Structure 1
Amino acid sequence: MSRLTATLVATMLVVAVSLSGGLFLVRHLGAKAFAARICAEQMEAALGAAQAMRADVEEMKSADAGEALRARLGAHAREAAARLGALSAAMADRDPSDPLARIYLAREDGAAALARRLLDGAQAPAPDALERDLDALIARLEQARPIHRQEAERSRFAARVAWHGAALGVPAILALLAVFAVGPALSRIETRARRLEEETARSMRLANLDPVTGLANRRRLLKSARDLATRAAAARTGVAALRIDIDRFRSLNQAWGHAVADQVLRHVARILRAEARADDVLARAGADEFYVIAMGEDAVERLNQLAERAIARLAEPMAAADRSVGEIRVAARAGIAAALPKADQSERTAEQLLVSADAALAAAKTARTRIEILSDGGREQIERRRRMLSELREAIAQSQIEPWFQPQICARTGRTLGFESLMRWRHPEQGVLAPGAFLALAEESGLIDQMGELCARRALAACAAWRAEGLFSGRVALNVSARELRDAQFVDKLAWDVEGAGLRPEDVAVEILESALIDDDSDPIIRNVAALAAVGFSIELDDFGTGHASISNLQKFRVDRIKIDRGFISGLDRSARKRKLAAAMIGLARSLEIEALAEGVETAEERRILTEMGCDLLQGFGIARPMPAHMARAWLLGRRPAVAAS
């Protein structure tokens, strides 16, 4: 073999080995680049599912959570969990100190752990808890996004370099890399890195902002509150929080649509920006929940004045973007709380401050005042409310919510024509509690729906049992909350329960408070009441005469009975004015062929006067007090000769 031939063979062997190694490297780096791209896509899909869940939770807080919304929330939760499960498996072999491994695999607050909690939480949604976990998950994924992109970019570039090396040979590729690949690639990488940094910064800003108002969102609110508490502790001064909510925002949203509701939210944000100081923290934490946090010795007084000005400005008419809506006037309520933070407890102080502001707002709603400032005993009140809320949940689980029955009799004959079902809580320690002790908290927490369903089913069962014994042929009247009446499925659910008890819709009356009705015919309550009447349920307007549109309500749908409020009945025998008002309402009902029932009848003289006026039915302590089912049965047995309603 000549020297030249040997050299050529050696060169070919080197090239062959180089190409073989290059091909192996190409396969390895190509697979790595593919895996990096798939992980990035999985992360984007998981982030999209989490953001979709966030939108579902926002909708859940501003509207009744129907089956469709719950199903959508569950689907998004399953999507996020599946994507993050795949990502966690891909990260399992990484070093625990790897940034992505920490993001996905952390035991308590890793993205995978958060996704599992969200999947469990979607089965029985609690919007506030879901919201906290979603904010944490979205923050984790926003943190992972630039890392995934950088890994995908590096892996793709390495695979491309290896491919050129295998195709052109090691010596050639070295020269080509120097001239054609490395320089341009580095330039492109630098450009893309700069874009990634800008995109990451933009994503971080958006992750902390409410998209509707541009104010800080809940996640940013918590951080800003902690920062302000830390500054207040260093300055040895106080910090205060204001929470302001729009009255009946859910009704507004359902009646006028999301576009008008968003316009109202932006209007509130503009007013708060105009009234607050530059160093105050402003946020919209969800639905119609707005917060302002201020620091200083005068923070409480300043926020009180801010709330007064904001509420006054919101009450001024505002032109809706949708011309068919016309002018909008918004009513609002506010709660204010204060704290004196300590240097080592700023995080706890911030969280407690927001909880206290929520409690102050709840007190304003209960007392029907515009602004409430949490007193020194407010924290004890918060703890009492928390305990009662826990006990209420236990009461539902243990069937401690039960109906009590108050008879409704014919004014002329004394026959028992019906019973009103009234909710009671048989507390294991405090005995039987009337609604005044727990109803406001039940409505505020959303538990009123479950309590109402439980109480209604038991009342229907009792009525069916009395009918089966031949003791009773009248109607049982169910009290229904405004929240229940806004449920699109309410009519179907009630009809199902009535049929399940062996009754007909004609055997059941639905009592509706006038205060629950609004003038807008597109409100879900108006539609549901009309649907109830169409199915055959008897419709009763409770506390008639106290609403803002008593007579106009009689035109909106078929009303079978008005219940004259006890305020017009008590002391009737001693007040000529009350007698005239009661007579006018009874006359109105008779002219419209509607039954009139007088509530709160307590004396024989009141009963006599109402009977002479032509009132159809009577109810009150003067007839009988509310009683549990077994005592109501005894009442019917004792009056057996006079039963059988016409």
Structure 2
Amino acid sequence: DFEQALRSLSDYFWLALAAILSISIGIVICIIGLFLINELSSQVFTFSLLLWWIANLLGIAIFTPFFLIWRKLPERWFEGYRTIETLAFIGLTFLVGQIVFLEWFYQELGFIARGYWLIVFVTWGAIRFGHHGITLVIAITFVQAMIGVAQGIGFFGSDLQESGLINMQLAFLVVSVNGLLLTLVIYELRKSQENMKLASLVYQTSSEAMMVTDANKCIISVNPAFTDVTGYQPDEVIGKNPKILSAGLHDKEFYRTMWQSIYATGKWQGEIQNRRKNGELFTEILSINTILNQDGIIQGWVGLFSDISEKKKKEELIWRQANYDPLTELPNRRMIYDRLNEEIRKCKLEHKQFALILINLDRFREVNDTLGHQYGDQLLKEVTRRLLSLLDGKGILGRLSSDEFVFIFNDPGEVTHASYCLNSILEKLAVPYHLGNEITHLTASIGIAFFPLDADSVTTLLKCVDHAMHTAKREGKNCFYYYTHRMQEDANTRMRLANDLRCAVVNEELIVHYQPIIDLLTGDIRKAEALIRWQHPKIGIISPDKFIPIAEETGLIIEIGDWVFYQAAAQTRHCRTNYNSEFQISINKSPFQFKADENKCHVWFEYLKELGLPGASIVIEITENSLMETKNSVNNYLLKLRDNGMQVALDDFGTGYSSLAYLKKFDIDYIKIDKSFVQNLGSDPDDLTLCEAIIVMAHKLDLIVIAEGIETWEQFRLLKDIGCDFGQGYLFSKPVSAHELNKFFEENITFLPKEC
């Protein structure tokens, strides 16, 4: 593109070409016109053509650049000391022009040759004042020369007669062209120097380390950033091979591939590990570019590199946080998914199998809530240590959630081998844990599934192992189960029931039945136990042992438990108002309700007050296992019940853990002897002795005893004879609706043997 400031050789070329063509065409047209009208003779045709052509070309050569350049005034000509030089330059140019072309001081200087004086000022203008200076010198002196010609004096005073001013015009044309070309050369030189200074500044101040080598791969220059990164001073590396930085961590193949790329493409970029002067390793991102001369021959290479060690550390930290559990330092769920996908891909290629083991810690949440998160974390670390020591090198151990670990067993071999491993895990985890001053016990429920036998994808494999683990949990914990397709069917059934159960709460498909509790002395109905049933629209009646575990897993047990309480409270008020003012209904309480309902007691108490019922009208039944699993929650809950007058019954007594300690610790009002002890009272003297011992102990502790599962009059008599207070069972009545319970009272039915 043409630049009017005439900053490049191409600008002058196009200006000269345009001038020559336009002048030539114009003059030819003019001269031919004059010749045709006989205003110009053939003798002077060529001379006139040359004269006009030179005159016009000179005008363009001198004044066109002047006007183009002086459209923008020069900068900093009159700043500081430069003002003196500017005034001297303009003044001396004018003075010399006067001397040369108008014969000032002719008598004093006439003997001195003056033809070269103009060159001095052209050079001065070009070097110090650039385009503006050179065009100003030529314009001033040309005007002075023309005045001298007009007066017939000065350097070109006689040129008009001698050559028709051709000599003067050619002289100024040559001076003008040479002056402008000199200016252009100086401008390009300065521009090149500025670029070199800028490049040097960038080289010296760049935050990227730079290293230049010659064609023999010897270092010839390094910048300060190189010293900052590597610790080497320039004099320590110049003349040496860049191998001085090598850490020896890359093999020959790495460098061979790198140099192949450099020779083929002229460049290479990548990550490389090197060593600082102090021996410290660092990671750099390195770019190598080839330096070629004009003939395309390699002169050397430039290497630019940045220390990305800290960046790599941060990336490693971020990656580790995203893929590893911070507490146990085991692979987390995300990493396990990736490893499983990789293991499946590898096993498909090699036609191998592997086992996936899911380990769920039983009662971990209780330990965490009871002892605190600090001890919970300590416990998880110890579990991790034990598992790693047991599974040493046999696969990949990861943590899926707070209380779940997963193990990818790379080569399980025979099923018996896997079983041995699972038994070892159970035994190792069952060893007591010392947490500060506390000693706690922990067991695990384990599920195992195989690829490709049980599943062919990560998602389905995890589902299978989860089903197996939950089966182990339901079957009593502290055991392991292999996945079977029946588990999948059971899981699907449970899922359908879970969905239906949500609708059952809304659609009022749940009903409460009441099983009478009889005073063994009088045969009167004194109490009843509320038992929930589910009237499924398609399946029919579903017993609690089928849907209560599902309700606990889904959290619906809270809503269902509240609904049962409200139903039982209403029935209690009806019976107390119409039949027996001391009638009680007992309600079974799930361990899950204790964990969630601790702050909801007041809602129940307020409802009893609205009905005009005392707290003692409702009895809360809990199991021994509930006491073990939720000791703190139960203790707080029972204290609130006692403060509001409610009573507590310990259900299934004798089948759980160390009951005597809990009878002393917790405020229990009733104990219910489990039906397993009642069934064989007539045939097994040991059961009778045990029941009698329980009753005597309970009475010593001021507890009331209720026997469950009474089905024969013999059992009735034996229990009565050993002092049992109350009984319930099919001998008296199966669980009945509220309407049928009311009929018992209305018909004044008592339950005594005929001989009584």
TM-score, structure 1 length as denominator?
Answer: 0.67
2: CA distance between counterparts of 1:519 and 1:399?
A: 31
1: CA distance between counterparts of 2:648 and 2:587?
A: 10
2:566 aligns with: 457
1:510 aligns with: 620
2: CA distance between counterparts of 1:303 and 1:386?
A: 29
The change in CA–CA distance for 1:401 and 1:519 in structure 2 (over 3 A counts) is closer
Q: Indicate conservation of the 8 Å contact 1:586/1:615, yes or no.
A: yes
The change in CA–CA distance for 1:9 and 1:553 in structure 2 (over 3 A counts) is same
Of 380, 405, 427 in structure 2, the residue corresponding to residue 290 of structure 1 is 405
1: CA distance between counterparts of 2:566 and 2:77?
A: 93
Does the alignment pair 1:250 with 2:365?
A: yes
Q: Indicate conservation of the 8 Å contact 1:533/1:558, yes or no.
A: yes
1:261-340 alignment, distance < 5 Å? 261-276=376-391, 278=393, 280-296=395-411, 298=413, 300-320=415-435, 322-323=436-437, 325=438, 327-340=439-452
1:230 aligns with: 345
| One-letter amino acid of the counterpart of residue 724, structure 2 | C
Does the alignment pair 1:602 with 2:711?
A: yes
Does the alignment pair 1:365 with 2:473?
A: yes
The change in CA–CA distance for 1:365 and 1:520 in structure 2 (over 3 A counts) is closer
The change in CA–CA distance for 1:180 and 1:505 in structure 2 (over 3 A counts) is farther
Q: Indicate conservation of the 8 Å contact 1:543/1:565, yes or no.
A: yes
Aligned-pair CA distance for 1:455: 2.3
Q: Indicate conservation of the 8 Å contact 2:586/2:620, yes or no.
A: yes
1:195 aligns with: 310
Which of the two has greater strand per residue?
Answer: 2
The secondary structure found in structure 1 opposite 2:405 is: strand
Does the alignment pair 1:353 with 2:353?
A: no
The change in CA–CA distance for 1:419 and 1:179 in structure 2 (over 3 A counts) is same
Aligned-pair CA distance for 1:639: 2.5
Aligned-pair CA distance for 1:476: 1.1
Q: State which drifts further: 612-621 or 184-193.
A: 184-193
Aligned-pair CA distance for 1:280: 1.8
2: CA distance between counterparts of 1:368 and 1:520?
A: 17
Deviation sequence 1:221-260 (CA, Å, 0-9, x none): 2222222122222222333211111221111111111111
Q: Indicate conservation of the 8 Å contact 1:246/1:288, yes or no.
A: yes
2: CA distance between counterparts of 1:242 and 1:333?
A: 10
1:20-169 alignment, distance < 5 Å? none
Which of the two has greater helix per residue?
Answer: 1
Aligned-pair CA distance for 1:177: 9.1
| One-letter amino acid of the counterpart of residue 272, structure 1 | L
The secondary structure found in structure 2 opposite 1:265 is: helix
1:418-433 alignment, distance < 5 Å? 418-433=527-542
Q: Indicate conservation of the 8 Å contact 1:232/1:295, yes or no.
A: no
* Identical aligned residues as a percent: 26
The secondary structure found in structure 2 opposite 1:489 is: coil
Q: Structure 1 stretches (4+) deviating beyond 6 angstroms?
A: 1-5, 9-12, 171-178, 187-190
Aligned-pair CA distance for 1:279: 5.7
Does the alignment pair 1:7 with 2:116?
A: no
Of 548, 554, 577 in structure 1, the residue corresponding to residue 686 of structure 2 is 577
Q: Indicate conservation of the 8 Å contact 1:233/1:341, yes or no.
A: no
| One-letter amino acid of the counterpart of residue 588, structure 1 | M
Aligned-pair CA distance for 1:396: 2.8
The change in CA–CA distance for 1:561 and 1:208 in structure 2 (over 3 A counts) is same
The secondary structure found in structure 2 opposite 1:593 is: coil
Q: Indicate conservation of the 8 Å contact 2:528/2:585, yes or no.
A: yes
2:635 aligns with: 526
Q: State which drifts further: 286-295 or 194-203.
A: 194-203
The secondary structure found in structure 2 opposite 1:243 is: strand
Deviation sequence 1:411-441 (CA, Å, 0-9, x none): 1112221111112222111111112222333
1: CA distance between counterparts of 2:364 and 2:447?
A: 17
Q: Indicate conservation of the 8 Å contact 2:504/2:510, yes or no.
A: yes
The change in CA–CA distance for 1:298 and 1:480 in structure 2 (over 3 A counts) is same
The secondary structure found in structure 2 opposite 1:438 is: helix
Aligned-pair CA distance for 1:194: 5.2
The secondary structure found in structure 1 opposite 2:400 is: strand
TM-score, structure 2 length as denominator?
Answer: 0.58
2: CA distance between counterparts of 1:275 and 1:641?
A: 64
| One-letter amino acid of the counterpart of residue 201, structure 2 | V
2:673 aligns with: 564
1: CA distance between counterparts of 2:411 and 2:610?
A: 61
1:383-398 alignment, distance < 5 Å? 383-398=492-507
1: CA distance between counterparts of 2:413 and 2:354?
A: 9
Aligned-pair CA distance for 1:555: 1.1
Aligned-pair CA distance for 1:184: 3.6
| One-letter amino acid of the counterpart of residue 701, structure 2 | L
1: CA distance between counterparts of 2:78 and 2:408?
A: 76
Aligned-pair CA distance for 1:604: 1.4
Q: Indicate conservation of the 8 Å contact 1:401/1:454, yes or no.
A: no
| One-letter amino acid of the counterpart of residue 614, structure 2 | R
Deviation sequence 1:431-476 (CA, Å, 0-9, x none): 1111222233333343333322232222223323444545664111
| One-letter amino acid of the counterpart of residue 584, structure 1 | A
1: CA distance between counterparts of 2:78 and 2:352?
A: 81
2: CA distance between counterparts of 1:518 and 1:221?
A: 34
1:619 aligns with: 728
1:448 aligns with: 557
The secondary structure found in structure 1 opposite 2:75 is: helix
The change in CA–CA distance for 1:256 and 1:174 in structure 2 (over 3 A counts) is farther
Aligned-pair CA distance for 1:215: 0.9
1:87 aligns with: none
| One-letter amino acid of the counterpart of residue 195, structure 1 | E
Of 201, 207, 211 in structure 2, the residue corresponding to residue 179 of structure 1 is 201
Does the alignment pair 1:216 with 2:335?
A: no
Q: Indicate conservation of the 8 Å contact 1:238/1:299, yes or no.
A: no
Q: Indicate conservation of the 8 Å contact 2:565/2:587, yes or no.
A: yes
Unaligned 5+ runs, structure 1: 13-170
2: CA distance between counterparts of 1:261 and 1:199?
A: 29
1:628 aligns with: 737
2: CA distance between counterparts of 1:5 and 1:376?
A: 92
The change in CA–CA distance for 1:364 and 1:641 in structure 2 (over 3 A counts) is closer
The secondary structure found in structure 2 opposite 1:536 is: coil
Of 407, 410, 422 in structure 1, the residue corresponding to residue 519 of structure 2 is 410
Q: Indicate conservation of the 8 Å contact 2:327/2:377, yes or no.
A: yes
Aligned pairs, number? 476
Q: Indicate conservation of the 8 Å contact 1:533/1:557, yes or no.
A: no
1:68 aligns with: none
1:138 aligns with: none
Higher relative contact order (CA 8 A, sep 6+): 1
Looking at CA atoms only, which structure, 1 or 2, has the larger radius of gyration? 2
1:158 aligns with: none
What's the RMSD between the two structures over aligned residues?
3.3
Aligned-pair CA distance for 1:175: 6.9
Deviation sequence 1:281-306 (CA, Å, 0-9, x none): 32111121111122446275444322
| One-letter amino acid of the counterpart of residue 461, structure 2 | L
Aligned-pair CA distance for 1:480: 0.5
Q: Indicate conservation of the 8 Å contact 1:486/1:528, yes or no.
A: no
Q: Indicate conservation of the 8 Å contact 2:616/2:646, yes or no.
A: yes
Aligned-pair CA distance for 1:176: 7.2
1:486 aligns with: 595
Q: State which drifts further: 201-210 or 396-405.
A: 396-405
1: CA distance between counterparts of 2:395 and 2:554?
A: 29
Aligned-pair CA distance for 1:565: 1.1
Deviation sequence 1:84-125 (CA, Å, 0-9, x none): xxxxxxxxxxxxxxxxxxxxxxxxxxxxxxxxxxxxxxxxxx
